[in-house]
Amino acid sequence: MRRFAMLALAAGLVAGAAAAHAAGPTFATIDNPGDPTFNQLLGINNAGTISGYFGSGAAGHPNQAYTIAAPYTKFVPANVPDSAQTQATGINAAGMVTGFWAPTNTGTDANYGFIRYDDHGHYVYIDVNDPLGGGGVPVVNQVLGINQAGYAAGFYNDANGAAHGFVYQVATAAYRPVTVGGATAAAATGINNNNLICGFYIDKKGVTHGFLKPLTGGGAVSLTVPHAPVTQLLGVNSRGVAVGFYVDSNQLTHGVLYNPANGEWQTIDDPSGTNGTVVNGLNDKNELVGFYTDAANNVHGMLVTGAGAP
């Protein structure tokens, strides 16, 4: 089970931290000992609690979801009951967790969206699967982020494999489409407390662009890193600062931090990410989470502090 956000490229204890530059960001590796060769950190709230998973999703190596809070020494399982696989993709200030799960672990598995919340010590799971979806094989429904008001962002694939973004509101159980003009496919990947949505879309030439768009009113603002065939925005905080990744001419991924207020962006690469870095989420303190691929092609969870907005 793979995340659409990685396209064809992917999608214990604190293992260590090293400064990239004396005055730059600090990178720390966080890997669940259940599989120290494959971890992805996908969301982080303002308290610093992180959602993520271990296991590549290949047959025999199922995704196993978890949350972990500072000082990042105790991993708490977050698997959907009776699922074969789960990914925990986002977490809000109230501890509501988004993600998706699969009933099988064959490597090409259907997946279904969910939101989990704590009801007086008992976890309640909400199925979030847009009724317009379900035509693809395998079925793809993913919920990727949630804000404090209970609006969650995600997407489904149609029968042709094209993504369609949506926002789901917990209070009303209503779905709203998220579209971008001229796109052949679009996914909503996050939503902040001001209902600003982030995501990515594919144009008619096959180029992938990141975007930011308000839930109601206003058009989309695009980010396309120069000469990059793929740019995706995967998380956005309450100040509208967004994170994601881009792909260079050598097909190597680089994390990106983007400030739409001034149009500036900067590359975020883990020093150990010889084979690529992806930034997947951030909070209002500009603490970033994601993952990197080392020289041995192992994937490690990544926490970045001190990056600052460009």
pLDDT at 23: 64
pLDDT surpassing 70 at residue 286 = yes
pLDDT at 218: 87
For residue 34, give the nearest of 77, 3, 2, 95 by alpha carbon.
Answer: 77
CA 100/CA 113 separation, integer angstroms: 4
pLDDT at 197: 98
pLDDT surpassing 60 at residue 2 = no
pLDDT at 138: 93
Segment 12-32 shows an average pLDDT of: 61
CA 5/CA 200 separation, integer angstroms: 9
On whether the CB atoms of residues 279 and 287 are closer than 8 A, the answer is no
pLDDT at 153: 98
Residue 290 CB coordination number (10 Å) = 30
pLDDT tier for residue 20 given thresholds of 50, 70 and 90:
very low
pLDDT at 14: 31
Segment 81-99 shows an average pLDDT of: 98
* Ranges 3-17, 212-226, 269-283: which has the least confidence: 3-17
The full DSSP string for 138-189 is S-BEEEEEE-TTSEEEEEEE-TTS-EEEEEEETTTTEEEEE--TT-SEEEEE
pLDDT at 5: 37
pLDDT at 193: 98
Segment 149-175 shows an average pLDDT of: 97
What pTM did the predictor assign? 0.93
pLDDT surpassing 90 at residue 101 = yes
* Ranges 6-10, 35-39, 240-244: which has the least confidence: 6-10
At 41-56, the pLDDT tens digits run 999 999 999 999 999 9
Q: Percent of the chain beyond pLDDT 70?
A: 93
pLDDT tier for residue 3 given thresholds of 50, 70 and 90:
very low
Q: What CATH number does the domain located at 4-20+27-305 have?
A: 2.120.10.30
23 vs 136, more confident: 136
pLDDT tier for residue 1 given thresholds of 50, 70 and 90:
low
For residue 149, give the nearest of 214, 211, 94 by alpha carbon.
Answer: 94
Q: Where are the domains of the chain?
A: 4-20+27-305
pLDDT surpassing 70 at residue 228 = yes
For residue 110, give the nearest of 71, 144, 140, 79 by alpha carbon.
Answer: 140
pLDDT surpassing 90 at residue 135 = no
pLDDT at 207: 98
Q: How far is CA 224 from the centre of its chain?
A: 18
pLDDT at 200: 98
pLDDT at 12: 29
pLDDT at 18: 32
